[in-house]
Amino acid sequence: MELKDIRRNIDKIDRELLVLLQERMGLALRSTKFKETISDTQREEELLAKAERLNLDLVERSFTRQLLRSIIEESKRLQKKEPLLVAFQGEHGAYGDVAARKLIPDGACIPCLEFIDVFRGVEEGHFDLGVVPVENSLEGAVTQVNDLLTTTDLKVIGEARIRVNHCLLATEVTDYRDIRMVYSHPQALAQCRGFLMRNHLEPRPYYDTAGAAKMLARENPRAAAAIASALCAELYDLEIIKEGIEDEPSNMTRFLLMARDPYGKRGEKTSIIFVTPHESGRLHAVLQLFAEAGINLTRIASMPLRSDPDNYCFFLDFEGDENDAAVKPVLEKMEGMTISLKRLGSYPANGTGC
Amino acid sequence: MNNLKLSTREPEHRTVVDVSGVQVGKGFTVIAGPCSVESESQTVETARAVKASGADMMRGGAFKPRSSPYSFQGLGLKGLKILAKARSEIGLPIVTEVLDPRDVSWVAEFADVLQIGTRNMQNYSLLKEVGMVGKPVLLKRGMYSTLEEWLNCAEYILSEGNPNVILCERGIRTFEKYTRNTLDLSAVPAMRELTHLPIIIDPTHSTGRISLIGPMSLASVAAGADGLIIEVHNNPAEALCDADQALTPDLFEDMMRQLRPLQSFMERLPRLKTSHQAM
């Protein structure tokens, strides 16, 4: 090993230390939702003592104590700031993370494994807010999320439209000409099919775009690259070989910001879900109310009901607040015309949430 | 020239190559920019200056074929990314050279036109590779090549299914030492007779002297060329290659001020009679 190789490894370890610290701080912030006070002297002492018992000959005990002590102090300082905990699905750097940062710039973004973890976590008070993708301009509705929207008690309090800018990422030591395999979420791979074919690259499905980037940085497999956001390049120290590699440049995903309480102020848009009786003209009658009141619809989608596959529920987004003079009577009339009507909430249009 | 099936077909038809909206083969297309991409600021500044003077596209090398292996070899992928940045900021299509068949698909991801340099004109595996990519190709004349050899190389690209070939005369080796090469301006009307492909002139490498670039550029317009490719550097004294033959933005602007009116004047003239029968 030469000096430059040694230094490259040191850089890599430093980076991993910081990424682990980021994860540790995230967990510490999550712990605040379970405890009364930030400080717990007994727990701190246990933690320090346990670390000291580790027999590491190059890391002296006094240094261990000093290092952990300063990490604990920083963690407590962070907890005192009480940032909003914003849950998203995927690893750090996922497009949900990009949307969460746009919606709540000062929040602490917490990764979750599944969409249901985001919903349950907010419902149970483990997170303050959740950010979930509801539809994509190329792929249509995100069914899992729409399904969860039908059963949740959470309210929509904001939305963000995120331009999906797929980047081809590789580690610094990888020569782009050697790349043969590309790891990413199947949907991202599908959206970049033309690029992959033109450059004779083999798609390798992975559970998450950011997860693929993280794996690349940690394991550095030979001849491999990942498709993920530009944020991932920053977080995992990867090189952007090419930006905007998707076949269709107008690739947008719309995210919803979910909370336990409604928005509270006048919203610019409203989302509802309803079910009509299975009789001719019922859906038309509902839509006619909106047409007559001059309310512009921004989204109409239908999904089979889980409990009754022969019947459908309808997702409707429209301009205006549910308490607006034009909207309120329409929703009241709808109560009598539908089997169920669920008001997800009114919220500001694209971008500014909370 | 019996083997030339595609490049000599239909002499009355003229190929117009569409480069991201710029029509090469219609009017007079001016491509300008530095010999090599050295930094983002140098590339973007030069692009801004040449656009302001009326250039239609920009050039810039990311992979450089240098006579010596110890000379600056270009920034490679980093250079391509800088060119893409300059395009998105300034809005001029990009012409850049590709040297290695393994790079062709990657260069095509970033550039609007792939340039085959004079030293690679007869690199047949490279020609086949660019023939298979859906991007226009600027094919420079080999410095020791006849017109027929040159057309045969265009044929390689056309026969792979890529009809968008732009020819570029860049001077040939003669015994003259005052100029870097000898500009064969007669290649323009000659190629008009032989092929339907557009032909442009490189007055920079053919003369290698700043003082000769302007006059030869104007002569190219008069000779009926379809355009120019010309080296411009925002600070030639600090250029990493070909420092003594790049125009400054000022010199380029001065030349363009004469070139565009000459172009309109030439467009108003009737076509010159070129054979005894027509007299």
Kindly list the averaged pLDDT for each block of 10 residues, start to end, along chain A of length 354: 89 87 92 87 88 85 91 93 94 93 94 94 96 90 92 95 94 91 93 94 94 91 94 92 91 94 94 91 93 94 85 93 93 92 93 42
CA B105 to chain A, closest CA, distance in angstroms equals 6
Residue B2 pLDDT: 62
Token reading at B221 = 């317009």
Q: Residues 193-252, chain A: which have Cβ within 8 Å of B?
A: 195, 198-200, 240-242, 245
What sections of B53-202 are H helices per DSSP? Answer: 77-90, 104-110, 124-131, 147-159, 187-194
DSSP strand E in chain A: where? 85-89, 108-112, 129-136, 140-141, 155-163, 167-170, 181-184, 202-205, 224-228, 239-243, 252-259, 269-275, 297-304, 312-319, 340-347
Whole-number Å distance between alpha carbons of A84 and B262: 67
Domain boundaries, chain A: 3-81, 167-243, 266-347
Q: Which CATH superfamily is domain A167-243 in?
A: Periplasmic binding protein-like II (3.40.190.10)
Residue A337 contacts B where some CB pair is shorter than 8 Å? no
Whole-number Å distance between alpha carbons of A158 and B279: 79
CATH number at B17-63+73-263: 3.20.20.70
- Chain B residue whose CA is closest to A239: B78
Q: List, for chain B, all residue ranges whose pLDDT scores fall below the cut of 70.
A: 1-2, 9-11, 277-279
Class of domain A266-347: alpha beta
Whole-number Å distance between alpha carbons of A178 and B256: 43
Cα separations in angstroms, A273 against A314, A316, A317, B29: 6, 6, 9, 58
Residue B109 contacts A where some CB pair is shorter than 8 Å? yes
CA B162 to chain A, closest CA, distance in angstroms equals 15
Residue B63 contacts A where some CB pair is shorter than 8 Å? no
Q: How many residues can be counted in chain B?
A: 279
Chain A residues lying within 8 Å of B99, measured CB to CB: none
CATH number at A3-81: 1.20.59.10
Indicate if ipTM > 0.85: no
Beta bridge mates, A259:
A155
Three-state SS at A174: coil
For A178, phi then psi, to 5°, come to -90, -10
CA B23 to chain A, closest CA, distance in angstroms equals 24
Residue A281: in which H helix or E strand, if any?
none
Q: Hey, are the CB atoms on B106 and A200 less than 8 Å from each other? A: no
Q: Hey, are the CB atoms on A242 and B108 less than 8 Å from each other? A: no
Token reading at B15 = 């190929």
Report yes or no: B134 and B158 within 8 Å, Cβ to Cβ: no
Whole-number Å distance between alpha carbons of A13 and A21: 12
